Amino acid sequence: RREQARLKGSVVEEDTEQWQKDPHFTGLERVGGVDLSYIKGDESRACASLVVLSFPALEVLYQDCRMVAVSAPYVAGFLAFREVPVLVEAVQRLQQEEPQLQPQVLLVDGNGLLHPRGFGTACHLGVLTDLPCIGVAKNLLHVDGLVRDELHREQVRALQRSGDTFPLTGTSGKVLGMVLRSYNNSSKPLYVSVGHRVSLGTAVRLVRACCRFRVPEPIRQ
């Protein structure tokens, strides 16, 4: 908790890059996606993936997928301590081997500020790599009074078309993220939250711009 609180002090919740302020993201050329996948029944090994896509064409420029040993146990609310070290290594490998392909933003399969202590995997990875990061989750994390109750399901049903959103406001009154219908043909939304060096509005616009299907292409790849 102390380490999380210390690192959380470095999170920047606003746009820091010129391309973020442009309605068409002019200047954005490379978008990265990261994810860790586990083998069923084996919690000690995982496949760590980093993929970099061109923007706006969304063509794969770089991919690094490798089996890694995961040493830290899974503890709810502290997933980043288990996953972020190997993702940081993947980013560092890319910076050393193909520096010209470094992503200008990372989409993380997980949460950012939408977290019990406001410091999810996307924040953790963003602070340690100093790259703009966005959390993109497929399920709602129940924090700060947010629950998948009938009201929530009703709000989700009201998202009629791709690009429709509603804010996730906790009982604290803070907006922790945005629910986004990312794809016309999928009624299941995405839960987008700020990781680091990006505003929530920009994060939602970019995730939508990266979607050919429900899951944004950098993470889907």
Cα separation, 122 vs 134, in Å, equals: 6
pLDDT at 39: 85
Cα separation, 43 vs 214, in Å, equals: 27
Q: Each residue of 9-19: pLDDT tens digit?
A: 999 999 999 99
Q: Tell me the chain's radius of gyration from C-alpha atoms.
A: 16
Q: Each residue of 123-178: pLDDT tens digit?
A: 999 999 999 999 999 999 999 999 999 999 999 999 999 999 999 999 999 999 99
Secondary structure of residue 152 in the 3-state scheme: helix
Count the alpha carbons within 13 Å of 191 in the hemisphere toward its beta carbon: 24
Q: Each residue of 43-67: pLDDT tens digit?
A: 889 999 999 999 999 999 999 999 9
Query: From edge to edge, which strands make up the β-sheet containing 105-109?
Result: 60-69, 42-54, 30-39, 105-109, 133-137, 190-196, 175-180, 165-169
Q: Which domains does the chain have, with CATH numbers?
A: 1-219 (3.30.2170.10)
